[in-house]
Structure 1
């Protein structure tokens, strides 16, 4: 009698389990290669019983929420699931799901008691109906662009399944490249003499060299190596253009300092080379005063920024502006 009861329970669990066919229908209804979890289906998909493994990304891509990692890994996640779906149209026992707070389903996040994202939950096959907060494994979400490689390696290690990534064809980029090449060849054919003048122009190459010097001496490579953000927000949600300390800086800092250096360089060049050649003495005197004043103002701003970055730096000129 007990054996019969156990068999009936197992059979009932098997019948009630969400099948691959049902998961495929939910995936198709979501309009992509993964299941979009909604208020009406997340219990059915995640609570079990189920016959497949479901890798679930819990994220928030709305820029107002400020989760930069969520925004960075969103395209990588789509590439991953598209690649799997392309090679395994029937699912092959592995499905992907996503719940995005930006799509307006806070009930899912409340049910899972989440207070931060992104999260990667993996629900394995089970014959039992379990609460959403149980029966899953948490996989690490790397805070960088290796998200796809990390998940592919973890799937191979823990699930024994191989994912071959397929790079999507960028038709837009191809069209732009072809169009640009054709436009360049047309311009080269019809305006070759102007190209020769540009290529042999000392002024153009000198300006380009100065531009590179300004960019690289103000920390462009530092920003790329450290992966620094372009801009940040303060506690009040307002844009923050500078951060204190010599070991960190924002991308916009590089542009601001480059602009100040550039204006200083131009003002000095005009002061030394152009101003003395002006015929009218009054105009020359006025231009010289203007350029000297501009140099003092720009250098004062530069020193204020340096004082903000280097706590304790004692020198300054005019207290006309500070990044604080």
Structure 2
């Protein structure tokens, strides 16, 4: 009986050692691709922890590229742009899934700091979000890290960067947003109701001041970059590595949403200064009031023009001109 017990225990221990040795043995390329495809059919953005990252991303052999997003989505991490960046990254991954075959040569993955802090230490990453390309052979080069401070992280820019690094072209498909259609329908209904109520009194539509105000509002909206925001979907603002919040993008190829509001406010005040400066000539008031209006309008125009020119100079590096403010 003791001999049988010893023999049984020996067989169990031998099987355990053989199983562990088999698990520790590196997977072949076919096994890794098959396992990635199985995970990819369930979820098109793979989540990696330390062991999975080492196995599928760091260790050879590989014949596929991995586009990895390093992020910190937890609220206590206070990453204000990580949520927006994740949405854009998922749009790119979803667009790739619908326009390409499911198996390789490109996979999308996410590493969250709370799930893979050891990966952040391994890659020497101390900020988030970071987009990085891991090529099929060799280590990532400096250009394999996307410069989001220069180009932003809109899905179109991510797709362009992926094409530059992998020669894989991704056509972006954004999910339909019915809120704009709903708001436009409500606005159309309100305007139609107003026209029906005032159908016997249409003098207001021939008011020059009303049309002038509408034209100025339209120009201010277009020149501030609202359409660019609608197309590119930039972040609200940006937090630097030092934790400083910046509201003005440092490149002429990008802008933030808050920056748009700043520009439209500055342009509005500048237009107001120009209006009171020109109105000072036609106002039927005493000369002293007209002089004050002219001086105030001139000061507003000159100062606001200097501020806007200074902002443009900070974005267009190498621009030589400035006025009052450098």
Would the alpha carbon gap of residues 76 and 193 (structure 1) be closer, same or farther in structure 2, given more than 3 Å must change? farther
Give the corresponding residue for 1:108.
Answer: 119
Report the alpha carbon displacement of residue 35 of structure 1 after superposing the two structures with TM: 1.5
Contact 1:83 1:164 in 2 (8 A): yes
Displacement of 1:200? 1.7
Show the counterpart of 1:246. Answer: none
Label 1:166 to 1:273 Cα distance change in 2 as closer, same or farther (>3 A). Answer: closer
TM-score by length of 2: 0.55
Partner of 2:255: none
User: How far apart in 1 are the matches of 2:91 and 2:248?
Assistant: 33
Aligned twin of 1:175: 182
Matched residue of 1:13: which SS? coil
| Paired position in structure 1 for 2:205 | 199
The Cα shift of 1:262 comes to: 1.0
8 Å CA contact 1:18, 1:49 repeated in 2: no
Q: Distance in 2 between matches of 1:164 and 1:214?
A: 32
Matched residue, 2:96: 84
**Number of equivalences:** 267
- Kept in 1: contact 2:48–2:109 (CA 8 A): yes
Between the aligned partners of 1:179 and 1:213, the Cα distance in structure 2 is: 24
Query: Structure 1 residue 13 and structure 2 residue 23: aligned?
Result: no
Q: Which residue pairs with 1:266 in the alignment? A: 276
Higher-helix-fraction structure = 2
Unmatched 5+ stretches in structure 1 = 1-7, 126-133, 244-249, 277-284, 314-322
3, 24, 34: which is aligned to 2:45? 34
Task: Compute the displacement of 1:261 (Å).
Answer: 3.4
1:306/1:82 CA distance change after superposition, 3 Å: closer
- Alpha-carbon distance in structure 1 between the residues aligned to 2:65 and 2:159: 16
Q: What SS does the corresponding residue of 2:124 show, helix, strand or coil?
A: coil
Q: 2: CA distance between counterparts of 1:97 and 1:152?
A: 17
Query: Do the aligned residues in 2 keep the contact of 1:54 with 1:97 (CA within 8 Å)?
Result: no
SS of 1:176's equivalent in the other structure is: helix
Call closer, same or farther: CA 1:20–1:136 in 2, change over 3 Å: farther
Residues 1:166 and 2:176 aligned together: no
Contact 1:20–1:93 (CA under 8 A) maintained in structure 2: no
Shift of 1:254: 5.6
Residues 36, 180 of structure 1: CA spacing in aligned structure 2 closer, same or farther, 3 A cutoff?
farther
Q: CA RMSD in A?
A: 5.3
**Paired residue for 2:68?**
57
CA drift at 1:58: 3.4
Matches within 5 A, 1:257-296: 257-266=267-276, 268-269=278-279, 271-276=280-285, 292-293=291-292, 295-296=294-295
Q: CA–CA distance in 2 between the matches of 1:100 and 1:120?
A: 14
